[in-house]
Structure 1
């Protein structure tokens, strides 16, 4: 079962703004901005080669962030990055509100504690349904509500 990531409006603005700034100016306005580079690096194609992949990576993260519960695993995809977690290894889940790094596009997240000391924060669009699917597969998971 696939769960897409919840997307906050502030994250929408940040991702799309930076993707735009990394893709459009290097292609259509090569003299845009201050480029503190040596003369031999201050060429149009070098700006495209270095900046456009960053912009496209941001868009890849935007469109391909989601979580799949399949068999006995949670498969997390965050753009080009992937991770699998065994559902049997999950011992607790708690809701959290955190703006810092995680494979999610929202501040409203759940923190999954698994293994001995491992933690990951994700933000499925429908948190209750996601937790319900996990509990069906592992009834030993402790759920901590805020």
Structure 2
């Protein structure tokens, strides 16, 4: 069974996206074609990021997908603990309302599923040792 959890999108992503998209429209209206190309590419990259950042639980694996930048495959059995955190570090998370997942000996990843409680319940249902 596969469960897919989309990333929550917070103001630190939404504000720049709206600003760039607004600039794109303004550049079209003013016919500033070089600027249309630049803002158009930026808008497409940001929209792609928003629609392609998600977390999949498939069997005993957690798959972390962030656009075309980060792809991680984590054995759910190796997860030690999950801690809610508000952090600006670079991560496959589109919100500051995040979870830090500690796995293996020293590894961790920051994510921001929309439904954090359901996500954590599902992981703990597979690995009852998660704190």
TM range (shorter): 0.7 to 0.9
| Comparing 69-78 and 7-16, the one that deviates more | 7-16
- What does residue 44 of structure 1 align with? none
Does the CA-based 8 Å contact 1:22-1:54 persist in structure 2?
no
Structure 1 residue 96 and structure 2 residue 85: aligned?
A: yes
Of the structure 1 ranges 93-102 and 129-138, higher mean CA displacement relative to structure 2 is found in 93-102
Instruction: Give the root-mean-square deviation of aligned CA atoms.
Output: 2.5
What is the 5 A alignment of 1:42-53? 48=37, 52-53=40-41
After TM superposition, the structure 1 = structure 2 runs for residues 65-104 of structure 1, keeping only pairs within 5 Å, are 65-81=53-69, 82-104=71-93
Q: 1:15 to 1:91 in 2, by over 3 A?
A: same
Q: How far is 1:15 from its partner?
A: 2.6
Q: Unpaired runs of 5+ in structure 1?
A: 33-46
Q: 1:89 to 1:24 in 2, by over 3 A?
A: farther
Q: CA deviation at 1:9?
A: 3.0
* CA displacement, residues 59-109 of structure 1 (integer Å, 9 cap, x when unaligned): 110111111111111111111232211101111110101123111111110
1:29 is aligned to 32
Q: What are the within-5 Å matches in structure 2 for residues 1-146 of structure 1?
A: 1-18=3-20, 21=23, 25=27, 28-30=31-33, 32=35, 48=37, 52-81=40-69, 82-142=71-131
SS in 2 for 1:95: strand
Asked if structure 2 preserves the Cα contact closer than 8 Å seen for 1:91 and 1:140, the reply is yes
